[in-house]
Chain A
Amino acid sequence: GAGVSQSPSNKVTEKGKDVELRCDPISGHTALYWYRQRLGQGLEFLIYFQGNSAPDKSGLPSDRFSAERTGESVSTLTIQRTQQEDSAVYLCASRRTVGSPLHFGNGTRLTVT
């Protein structure tokens, strides 16, 4: 029923702290994606999950970034030892299958001070 849900909407953290972002996809959507969007920039692919297959982590910028997803449900994106350059909006999206459009959540705006 509901769309993609992300929490928190906003997160301010101090440099060096760890943060965890959550995404709840649309029910029945097998694929889940994380993107990053810096201010005034385009979408930067981070990772996607497809069912129980191994995730495509090719977009993760460093080993400080990791993500998990249990089955076809909630996903968490974790950023360890945050840096100021991690400040961005982190968008989660899901889709039913290959060829269908992505549906985005409202995003988490992360600010690292």
Chain B
Amino acid sequence: RKEVEQDPGPFNVPEGATVAFNCTYSNSASQSFFWYRQDCRKEPKLLMSVYSSGNEDGRFTAQLNRASQYISLLIRDSKLSDSATYLCAVNLPNDYKLSFGAGTTVTVRA
């Protein structure tokens, strides 16, 4: 089983819609969680860290479900500019290696 798994998508949604997707991780001891956004032929950029109690940044909401070992990302009121691949990253405590999922592709259409 892979350390971090994501539904590759693509998720095709109209502008203004809400889209959500998950990222599952295999090691229950995982401690730190992040969502990155990667545009075509660009480097990944940090979108947000994921905190235990869940957190929101504008139209983006991240949640952590430790019992089921997944994190989620929800995008409200989707914009065309939200079209990208979203990567999740998971870190074990006291371990410098960060494990990345393969990414979920989101396409927002006009």
Contact with A along B24-59 (1 / 0, CB 8 A): 000000011010000001111110010000000000
Check if B31 sits within 8 Å of A104, measured CB to CB: no
Check if A105 sits within 8 Å of B43, measured CB to CB: yes
Does residue B84 face the partner (Cβ distance < 8 Å to A)?
no
Give CA–CA (A42, B43) in the complex, Å. Answer: 11
Check if A43 sits within 8 Å of B87, measured CB to CB: yes
Among A43, A50, A95, A98, point to the contact of B93 (Cβ < 8 A). A98
From residue 68 to 110 of chain B, which have CB atoms closer than 8 A to chain A?
87, 89, 91, 93-98, 100-103
Does residue A99 face the partner (Cβ distance < 8 Å to B)?
yes
| Cβ–Cβ < 8 Å partners of A56 in chain B | 96-97
| Cβ–Cβ < 8 Å partners of B31 in chain A | 99
B63 to A: closest C-beta gap in Å? 18
What is the interface residue range for chain B against chain A? 20 to 34
Check if B49 sits within 8 Å of A101, measured CB to CB: yes
Nearest residue (CB) in B for A97 is B96
Contacts A43-B44, A43-B87, A56-B97: A101 and B103 contacting too (C-beta < 8 A)?
A: no
Among A41, A50, A100, A104, point to the contact of B43 (Cβ < 8 A). A104
Contacts A43-B44, A104-B43, A104-B44: A99 and B91 contacting too (C-beta < 8 A)?
A: yes
| Cβ–Cβ < 8 Å partners of A89 in chain B | 41
Nearest residue (CB) in B for A56 is B97
Residues of A within 8 A of B (CB): 31, 33, 41-43, 45, 48, 50, 56, 89, 91, 95, 98-107
With A100-B32, A102-B89 already in contact, 17 other A-B pairs whose C-beta atoms are closer than 8 Å: A42-B100, A42-B102, A43-B87, A48-B97, A89-B41, A98-B91, A98-B96, A99-B32, A99-B91, A101-B34, A101-B49, A102-B34, A102-B46, A102-B98, A104-B44, A105-B43, A106-B43
